[in-house]
Structure 1
């Protein structure tokens, strides 16, 4: 089985605008996790720009971009959604939605001109975005006796700066560990504590 690969997306919502022959093209790029979020964001933008001529969009989702959609919203077929999608594909960006809102300025651009305009708008907003790499992770719960607290805490901190720490009969850490590091993390945990500390995979436990 192939290991899950890291994905490239953007850090936060970003917006930019270009003007071509009187028409305004307002591009909004939004990181998304699934189709439900896509639908919610598209609806929000449609309400925001309720008087726009078109709200065209494209998105593609992790893990490999095979789940995607593009929408021309009344523009000639293939002149809006496809160029937006192509901009995402060229940059290999996943879990990302780009909506390009057009206010018609009175001058028709023709099919070729439209495609170039939507591509330019999509690329412009992506140029303004900060990209990040998201690594596949697994949620784990680590149990350690107090005698091994310092050693285990250092080990957890070497993998992530974000974790929960609970003090009970034992100390419990809840954290997300990169999949590619999980086996080594587990082995090191056992070695450093002589088997006194252990972990469970929360994702597996909750699915059973």
Structure 2
């Protein structure tokens, strides 16, 4: 196999807490599917914790693990977002957003203290998270004449493909999730069916 088509992420949101000299660091980890969700989670946390001093975060997106962002939200540069991201990197987890909400306790912790606090809160959230391995799947729309239904269903059964949408008429359309490592085999078989065509939609 030329590439790894699995990645680790978290199954559902998780939380962690770290305290140091009166400051509280509340970590919230969320499964992430697209960048737009980051703002929604941040807005929710800001409305839940309006008196917090900082909402720092980091996220990793994409199955090639190359898409990430860090935000220190007013903390000294590199003292908050980067330590959060480093935990995600060290655990090799992707498609995850971690926001650490800080309530200032009156004592300055210094940059080393902040790095430690943001890392510890994130580690605590990760310890409480259920880490799952997922496959990288592409979504394809397959259309074919009704007479070819059995041929298409055979392929779906052979590769255990998941149907996420279906329209049955004289001309049928199925939306299928295909694991990347099986893609060539599946597409080759679909192409051999006279009336069938497969169109790539996007990667999940």
RMSD value, Cα: 2.7
Number of the residue aligned with 1:30: 30
Task: Return the alpha-carbon distance in structure 1 between the equivalents of residues 175 and 77 of structure 2.
Answer: 49
Q: TM-score, normalised by structure 1?
A: 0.80
| CA distance in 1: counterparts of 2:28 and 2:61, whole angstroms | 17
Residue 111 of structure 2 corresponds to residue 111 of structure 1:
yes
Q: How does 1:63-102 map to 2 (within 5 A)?
A: 63-102=63-102
Change (3 A) 1:11 1:106: same
Aligned to 2:129: 129
Please state whether the residue corresponding to 1:162 is helix, strand or coil: strand
Moved more, 100-109 or 155-164: 155-164
Following the alignment from structure 1 to structure 2, what is the Cα–Cα distance between the partners of residues 25 and 82? 15
1:6 Cα deviation from its structure 2 partner: 3.5
Higher strand proportion: 2
**Length-normalised TM-score, structure 2:** 0.81
Partner in structure 1 of residue 185 of structure 2: 184
Question: Structure 1 stretches of 5 or more lacking a match?
Answer: none
The alpha-carbon distance between structure 1 residues 145 and 65, as it changes in their structure 2 partners (threshold 3 A), is closer
Residues 60 and 119 of structure 1, relative CA distance in 2, 3 Å threshold: same
Preserved contact between residue 6 and residue 136 of structure 1 (Cα < 8 Å): no
**Cα 1:90–1:13, aligned 2, differ >3 Å: closer, same or farther?**
same
CA-CA distance at 1:153 after TM superposition = 2.0
Deviation at 1:131, TM superposition (A): 2.5
Assess, with a 3 A threshold, how the Cα gap between structure 1 residues 61 and 174 changes in structure 2: closer, same or farther: closer
In the alignment, is the contact (CA less than 8 A) between 1:28 and 1:100 conserved in 2? yes
Preserved CA contact (<8 Å) 1:9 1:134: no
Asked if 2 retains the 8 angstrom alpha-carbon contact of 1:138 and 1:179, the reply is no
Where in structure 2 are there 5+ consecutive unaligned residues?
A: none
How many Å separate the matches in 1 of 2:37 and 2:156? Answer: 32
Equivalent residue for 1:200, pick from 198, 201, 204: 198
